[in-house]
Structure 1
Amino acid sequence: MADAASRPVRTPPLSLVGEEVRRHDRDRFTTALFAPAEAREDLFAVYAFNAEVASIREKVHETMIGFMRLQWWRDTLDGIYAGGAVPAGHPVAQALAEAIRRRDLPRDAFDAVLEARELDMADEPPVDRAAFLAYARGSGGGLQRLAAHVLAGRDAETAAAAEDVGTAWTVVGLLRAAAFHAAQRRVYLPAADLAAQGEGPEVVVAGVPHAAVAAVAEQLAGEARGALAAARARRGAVRREAVPALLPAVLADGYLARLQRLDWNVFHPDMAMVDPQPLRLTLRAFLRRW
C-alpha cells in the first residue's frame, strides 16, 4: 500500500490559512495536499506566512511602509520564540505560532526569508547574478527549509535539498512573473546580465519579447536546473517524510520545459498559467522521484 506522501489526502473544509494558500499559492497548496493530515495545517501556516510577506510590495504605496510590515513580522516572531502573546485577530500569525511551537521550526530560516524580501521594496533590479540568487536562496530556499522541517524534523541533508529546491522554484517563479512585475515597472532579472546583452532594465519593463531578455532568461533557467540537480544529488540521504516539501521540483521541471518550448519568452501568456499537474505529482510522490 502506498504511504501517505504518495497521494494527496482528502481534506476537511479548509482553515483560514489553508484557504489563504489555496488562493495565493496554488502550486504549493497542491503539493501540501500530499502531506499527512497531522502536519498539513502547519505546512499551510508556513506557506501562508510566505504568501503574506510576498504580497507586501503589491499592497503598499510607500517603500517605508513595506519595510515596516517586514519589521512587524520580525517583532511577531521575536514574541513567538520568546513564548509571548501572539497578535490577536491575525490568523496567519496565530497558526504560525502553533506550528513553530509544535515543530520547533528554526528561526534563522524565517530571518532568511524576511531579509531576502527586503529586495522587493527596492526600485532597482538585483545588481548581478549573485544578488539574484541570494534573493532566491533566502526567500524560496528558506521557505522550503521550513516546509521540510515541518514534515521531517531537523536533518541537515534534507534541509540542504529543500533549500536547493526552494531556490530553483523561486528562480522559476521570478521568470514566470516577469510580465506581472514589468507592468509594475519592477525588474528582477540581474542588471549585470542585462548589461552583458547590451540592454538595461527598461527592456524588461517594456514587457515585449526581446532577444536580450530571452538570453538572460535562458541563463537563469540554467541556474534553476543546476539547483534542482544539486538537490537531487542528495536524494538518497533525504528523509522520505519530506517528499511533499520537495515536490515543487517536479513542477519546476514542467515550467522550465514550457519556457524552453516558448524560446525563453518570459512574456508569453502561457508562462503565467498555473499547472499543478496532480497526476504527475501523485506518481512522482509515490516513487519518491521528486
Structure 2
Amino acid sequence: MAAPAQARAILFPIYAANVEITRAPWVTAEPMIAEMRLQWWRDVMEEIIAGGEVRRHEVATPLARVLSKSGAEALDRLIAARRWDIYKDPFEDATAFTAYLEDTAGGVLFAACDALGRADNKVAKDAGYASGLASFFQAIPALEDAKRVPLLDGRSEAIVNLAKGGLSRLTQARKARGSLAKHGCIALWQTEALLEQAVADPRAVGEGRLDVGAFTSSIQLSKAALLGRW
C-alpha cells in the first residue's frame, strides 16, 4: 500500500475486512452459507458499535482497534449491500444500483478516512460512487460469466451516461477533498482514468478491456500517494 507506515497500520485491518466481506458471497454456491458468512461480519460490527468485547479473530481483532462507531456503521451498511452478490437477481432499479455503490465503495472509503481522523459522509459517497462504478465496470465480464445481470441497461449509450455521472460525482467530491483524510483516498487513484476510458470506449467495459495501463497507473498512484490528488 502506498500510504505511510502509520496510516497503513490503520488502513490494513479495514481493507482486510473489506476483502473478507467481498469474498463471502463468492466462496460458496449455497446462498444460506453466504448469508451466514455475511451475518458473522454484521455481528462483528454490532459488537464494535456496542463498544464491548469483540470476538477474537485475525481480522476482526485489529479492526476493532481502529474502527469508530461511525466506521462500523458504514461497514455494516456495506455488508448489507453485499447481499446482492449472493443472488442472481438484477438490481431493482437505478436507485438500488446507486445505493449499492455508495454503500460498498463509499462505505469502505468513509470508514478508512474516519479512522484516519477526517471524513464526510456525503463526500465519501460521491467519491465512493465514482470509484465503485469504475471497479464495477471492470468486474462486468466476470459477473456475466457467473450468470449475473450487472446492469439494467448494458447498451453503450447507457454505459457512457453512467460513466459521465460517475465523473460528475468525482468532480463534486474533489471540491471538498479537504474533508476526507488524504491517505484514506489513495484507493481513488485510477477512478478518473477508468471512467474517462469508459466514456471514450464503452465497449471496453463488456469486452474486459477497461484498463488504464501501467504507465498511467504509476503516475496516478504517485499523485494520490504524494500529493493527495485524485
With the length of structure 1 as denominator, give the TM-score of the two structures: 0.71
- 1:171–1:224: 8 Å Cα contact kept in structure 2? yes
Q: Which residue pairs with 1:47 in the alignment?
A: 15
Residues matched between the structures, number: 228
Equivalent positions of 1:206-217 (< 5 A) are: 212-217=154-159
| Amino acid paired to 2:186 | L
How far does the alpha carbon of each residue in 1:32-57 deviate from its partner, in whole angstroms, 9 at most, with x for none? x22x3222122011111111111122
1:118 corresponds in structure 2 to 83
Q: Please tell me the residue identity of whatever aligns with 1:231.
A: A
What secondary structure is seen at the aligned counterpart in 2 of 1:289? coil
Within the alignment, does 1:74 sit opposite 2:42 as a pair?
A: yes
Secondary structure at the counterpart of residue 100 of structure 2: helix
Contact 1:132 1:188 in 2 (8 A): no
Alignment-derived partner of residue 149 in structure 1: 114
Structure 1 contact 109–145 (Cα < 8 Å) conserved: yes
Aligned counterpart in structure 2 of residue 238 of structure 1, from 179, 195, 208: 179
Aligned residue type for 1:84? E
> Matched residues in 1 for 2:46 and 2:165: separation?
34
Which structure ranks higher in relative contact order (CA pairs < 8 Å, sequence separation ≥ 6)?
1
| Residue of structure 2 equivalent to 1:227 | 169
Question: Which residue identity lines up with residue 157 of structure 2 in the other structure?
Answer: A
Partners of 1:49 and 1:93 within 8 A in 2: yes
Which residue type is aligned with residue 128 of structure 1? D
Distance in 2, matches of 1:165 and 1:55, equals 23
- Paired with 1:249 and 1:231, the residues of 2 have a C-alpha distance of 11
Unaligned runs of 5+ in 2: none
Q: Identify the match of residue 135 of structure 1 among 79, 100, 106.
A: 100
Say yes or no: does 1:38 pair with 2:13: no
Q: Which amino acid aligns with 2:52?
A: G
2:32 paired with 1:92 = no
- 1:289 and 2:206 matched: no
Deviation at 1:274, TM superposition (A): 7.4
How many angstroms apart in 1 are the aligned matches of 2:135 and 2:167?
13
| Aligned residues with identical type, % of pairs | 29
Instruction: Report the equivalent of 2:143.
Output: 181
Going from structure 1 to structure 2, the CA distance change for 1:218 and 1:245 (only over 3 Å counts) comes to: same
Q: TM-score, normalised by structure 2?
A: 0.87
> Deviations 1:152-191 (Å, cap 9, x if unpaired)?
24x43xx43222211111111111111011110012212x
Partner of 2:122: 160
Alpha-carbon shift at residue 284 of structure 1 (Å): 4.6
Q: Which moved more, 1:255-264 or 1:67-76?
A: 255-264
Correspondence list, 1:267-278, <5 A: 267-271=206-210, 275=214, 277-278=217-218
**In the alignment, residue 243 of structure 1 is paired with which amino acid?**
K
Quick check: 1:39–1:150 contact (8 Å CA) kept in 2? no
Rounded to whole Å, the distance in 2 between the matches of 1:142 and 1:263 is 27
Q: Report the residue type matching 1:71 in the other structure.
A: Q
Structure of higher CA gyration radius: 1
CA RMSD after TM alignment: 2.3
1:268 partner letter: E
Distance in structure 2 (CA, Å) of the matches to 1:272 and 1:183:
19
The letter for the 2-side match of 1:67 is E
List runs of 5+ in structure 1 lacking aligned partners: 1-28, 195-211
Match of 1:169 in 2: 131
Q: Specify whether residues 49 and 273 from structure 1 end up closer, same or farther in structure 2 by C-alpha distance, changes over 3 A only.
A: farther
Seen in structure 2, the aligned counterparts of structure 1 residues 80 and 142 have a Cα distance that, compared at 3 Å, is same
